[in-house]
Chains A and B, each alone.
Chain A
Amino acid sequence: MTDPVVQFHGVSKRYSHFLLQDVDLELPRGGIMGFIGPNGAGKSTVIRILMGLVRPDRGEVRVLGQDIPKGQVQAKRDIGFGSEDLRLYRQTTLDWHMEFVRSIYPSWDQSYADTLLRRFDLKRDQKVKGFSHGQRVKAALLLVLARRPKLLVLDEPTTGLDPVARAELLDELMEVVVDDDRSILFSSHNTLDVEQISDYITFIDRGRILATDDKETFLDRWRRLRLELPPETVLPNPPGVVSTQRQGHLCVVTTNQFEPETPSLYSAVGATVTAVEPLTLEEIFIATVRTSREVQPS
């Protein structure tokens, strides 16, 4: 196994109104990690720490084999960074930016840049000032993609994009990982994007990592069981039950530790399992955040 491209160990950072607490994170080479959290959960802080732009109070960060922030210059040569609040210079053209970026990174691929110009329908001699939000996001993405960086770090790349632009962007991200040496870490509060293209998923809320795992494991472990019960049935309480809603003869049990034998535990006490349903990532995310907030109220 090669080293992970991103590794956080016990990273903490205190602000007057926010605490990022003991963040552990690992992104294997060639993978896509979706970083999901509500607004203000600490996604951007984690990403800034990763880029060396915020120095944590405690903990170790390694990115592409470099200690961060010490080795940030070396790491940033191979990182393509995009963020919702990143803007290009409004007074000049996309062409100027392409020349500027090309002069800095030897890996710049002009023919791919030209392809992206066409695919994204951008005009290179237009001033950035005149771009729409979607065009700005795509222009900024073009500048990082055409460098073919080893690691793409994108903070909320799809926020504010229309569905067509979002699909275009996801298409390009998928192109990136055809090469198994290139990885992506992106944050989003749109779980649909994350569910579709991520290999690994990390949930963050209120400055703490709630869960991090590969996507299939995530989706497999969570199930909703619909039961029919004779009255007075006492339900078993296996580990992993997140919620139980009982109304009359019907009951819905949500678990995050589903095993093939789980339904038989309920049949054994006389319940009929009428359905075993997978949950969408969105449902899993909301349930995870709620459970964690119940255990640790703010």
Chain B
Amino acid sequence: MNQEMLRRLVLKDWHFNRTAILICLGLGALSLKVLTLPSEGAFYAGSVLLISVVIGLGIHLVISTVVYERKHQTLPFVMSLPISPMEYVVAKILANLSIFAATWTILCVATLSVIWASPGLPNGLLPLAVILLAELFAAYCLTLAVALITESEGWTIVMLVVGNLFFNYFLYFITHLENIATHLQSPVAVWNRPVWWTLAAITTTISLSLAGTLVAQTRKTDFL
């Protein structure tokens, strides 16, 4: 792998998305502020805003770094650089994961700290928050994989819609799972077996979608 070129391509995507990253962090801070306001309505509003920020960042990144590269015809420019098609995909994954993960981690740590520090919010919410944020990460990785594998705007949008519908189902499913639901209002976080199993499933999904993208790239014959 041509590390120097990978670094430049990753930095390029960071550079082009710097405004979006800052906006997401700003909106993230705002949603955390709302989350801690002493009312149940504010808690929901803050949660929804926070989830929307993470989903929005994911959509923006996949569209702007992968879909637009093809749609706005900058792909021939990138592919004419001294890189192989595999290095292109690796650079895209690294750029996306690093931008998303950096922003996601900041939001994640902030969310957990807010829940932990707020007297109004029970610590029993912590595992749920981790699971939901992890699910959003996985959904993002899947969308990225679909975008890189199909290189199609249409399929990427289909995946985004499916991902968001699934999140609603997932939210319902997880908050009604007996071993998790019963501990939500508890003053201490309960990290029991169902929590770990869910997190393991999410991590596997992330790994498989990224590995699948790399395998798919080795089987392609046309890169432009």
Contacts and interface: CB of A to CB of B under 8 A. Distances in A.
Do A and B pair up? The answer is yes
B8 interface: yes
Interface stretch (B71-79, B141-149, B166-174): B71-79
A126 to B, nearest CB: 17
B12 interface: yes
Contacts of A73: 2, 82-84, 87
A74 interface: yes
Interface in B1-32: 2, 5, 8, 12, 16
B84 A72 contact: yes
A76 B80 contact: yes
A72 B16 CA distance: 27
Interface in A24-58: 48, 51-55
Interface in A203-254: none
Nearest to A15: B222
Contact of B73 (A69, A85, A103): A85
Interface stretch (A89-97, A111-119, A177-185, A189-197): A89-97
Given A54-B224, A92-B16, A74 B73 contact: no
B220 to A, nearest CB: 8
The B contact surface, by secondary structure, is loop
Given A73-B2, A92-B16, A83 B76 contact: yes
A104 B16 contact: no
Interface residues of B, number: 22
Question: A83, A86, A92 — which one has the most chain B CB atoms within 10 A of its CB?
Answer: A86
Interface in A119-166: 140
Nearest to B73: A87
B122 to A, nearest CB: 45
A42 to B, nearest CB: 14
A273 interface: no
A72 B84 CA distance: 7
A86 B74 CA distance: 6
Contacts of A54: 221-224
A89 to B, nearest CB: 6
A287 interface: no
B109 interface: no
Nearest to B87: A73
B80 to A, nearest CB: 4
A85 B72 CA distance: 9
Given A55-B221, A100-B12, A104-B5, A76 B82 contact: yes
18 contacts: A51-B79, A52-B84, A53-B79, A53-B223, A53-B224, A54-B222, A54-B223, A73-B82, A73-B83, A73-B84, A76-B81, A76-B82, A79-B80, A86-B73, A86-B77, A87-B76, A89-B72, A104-B8
Interface of A: 48, 51-55, 69, 72-74, 76-77, 79, 81, 83, 85-92, 100, 103-104, 140
Given A73-B82, A76-B80, 20 more contacts: A48-B224, A51-B79, A51-B224, A55-B221, A55-B222, A73-B2, A73-B83, A74-B82, A76-B82, A79-B80, A81-B76, A81-B80, A86-B74, A86-B77, A87-B72, A89-B74, A90-B72, A92-B16, A103-B8, A104-B5
Closest 5 CB pairs of A and B: A81-B80, A86-B76, A87-B73, A55-B221, A53-B224
